[in-house]
Structure 1
């Protein structure tokens, strides 16, 4: 077997035959310029438009086909199949440019285990986002901080990186979108990120939140009403799971969130 790559890029995709070509071209071109070996994994979330076949036509792209169980399940499948020293999760529309990886990776050398892109904080930039969508996102984050993750300003940016061992540990422990995740209808944007980060904090992993660039996509699959309710339900399920001891095999960290989470800073 070939030596494992330095970086695994995991892209969940559901009916992305229109947007995926631009994304794969950009990621492939960027990785071709790097000195480190890398792999691209596209996780097809039960697409019906030929997304899997399109992705498979690109040289060097590995395709993992899943039943349609939503983004959280697809991301988990890709992360568990990854072989790179670091695992980078990004969305099929590449809302955060692949070059922003260069802002994330130095934090691993500084001892962090999970490094998340953030659309908040000094240095973050949002492009073309309607005001009402930004307002909805901030209200949701307020609820997330109150219920599950105080101190993290943006759990939902799709640009996240983890050490491979950490990714495997956390994704094997998730409860909401694990092996028994139900089949879904249509696009299913979820708050799997909240459970992932909750577990990371509980397991004692160091989390860095790093401001990045982010572009609002006009072809976004997010349904403001349906997905807001689904995401809030996921957050409540994380808190309920914690209350009933579903995560109790891992000792809780101190209540001081600064012990396990740090904002991004220039290194």
Structure 2
């Protein structure tokens, strides 16, 4: 069974067009609109089109809506897509076809024309590059909200997902960390319906970057801590060489930098063990 989950906050204008197209494209699918505290006609539209509506008592964020939808879905395959009209329901079959090739998650990857402005495009390019370096895989679209996953795999990581934006970041990194197969399917993206974007470029851009480093520590902490440790050691060695030549002594700053190098490396080792325990599955 297929379940399609759409997190929505005041997206009635887009849902009026999207829901009938979605029902036509996937007539047998369970469609769940997670109403994240909307104040528009979302409830009426869901009732008119025979769509299940999961109501949040108040706005908890995009990630919280995704988690609510995943818990209530009855399908063994979950498709997540934005409710703002950017994703074409006809493309769902392409994701499902790739999923049938043996993948655990297939992500709809946007090209440059699908980015919401130059700033967002540059930011997403940076995120993709950082995630690729951390995971060792070619991450083509870290933040895409259009993806198909196997429900049992996805639910393993619900406790890791943030309640706000960037659940795709956490989900993608977690799948790679657990050696679940991830594929990217190129998709076109339409312009969103309406202007009620819930993304704040500066604040959410910084938040995305912080989450990448947070997930890096969950994915492979030593890839973050080891370079930092080496940097402190090199700085300490350089400072010692300079003071030895000029003053013929070992300074407190050199000792501090050497100590920081050892401490950071040990923290990385401990974090690596914690990460292993986080992803350990009993049975």
Q: Which residues of 2 match residues 1-267 of structure 1 at below 5 A?
A: 6-32=1-27, 37-51=28-42, 53-66=43-56, 67-120=58-111, 126=113, 129-147=116-134, 150-171=137-158, 174-177=159-162, 181=163, 190-217=165-192, 219=195, 220-242=197-219, 243=221, 244=271, 245=274, 248-250=277-279
**Matched position secondary structure for 1:151:** coil
* Deviation of 1:139 (Å): 2.5
Against the structure 1 CA distance between its residues 95 and 60, is the aligned structure 2 distance closer, same or farther, given a 3 Å change threshold?
A: same
Larger Rg computed on CA atoms: 2
Distance 1:75 1:93 in 2: 15
* Deviation of 1:137 (Å): 2.3
Against the structure 1 CA distance between its residues 208 and 151, is the aligned structure 2 distance closer, same or farther, given a 3 Å change threshold?
A: same
Distance 1:58 1:113 in 2: 34
Against the structure 1 CA distance between its residues 128 and 210, is the aligned structure 2 distance closer, same or farther, given a 3 Å change threshold?
A: closer
Distance 1:156 1:238 in 2: 13
* Deviation of 1:230 (Å): 1.8
Distance 1:13 1:101 in 2: 18
- Of Structure 1 and Structure 2, which has the larger fraction of its residues in strand? 1
Higher relative contact order (CA 8 A, sep 6+): 1
Could you state the TM-score of these two structures normalised by the residue count of structure 2?
0.71
Q: 1:148–1:238: 8 Å Cα contact kept in structure 2?
A: no
Q: 2:105–2:149: 8 Å Cα contact kept in structure 1?
A: yes
RMSD over aligned Cα atoms: 2.5
Against the structure 1 CA distance between its residues 247 and 106, is the aligned structure 2 distance closer, same or farther, given a 3 Å change threshold?
A: same
Q: 2:14–2:84: 8 Å Cα contact kept in structure 1?
A: yes
Q: 1:79–1:168: 8 Å Cα contact kept in structure 2?
A: yes
* Deviation of 1:50 (Å): 4.3
Distance 1:205 1:39 in 2: 25
Q: Name the counterpart of 2:250.
A: none
Could you state the TM-score of these two structures normalised by the residue count of structure 1?
0.75
Q: Name the counterpart of 2:224.
A: none
Distance 2:275 2:209 in 1: 19
> How many positions carry a matched residue from both structures?
226
Unaligned residue ranges in structure 2 (runs of 5+): 222-270
Q: Deviations over 1:57-89 (max 9, x none)?
A: 233200111232210111111012111231100
- Of Structure 1 and Structure 2, which has the larger fraction of its residues in helix? 2
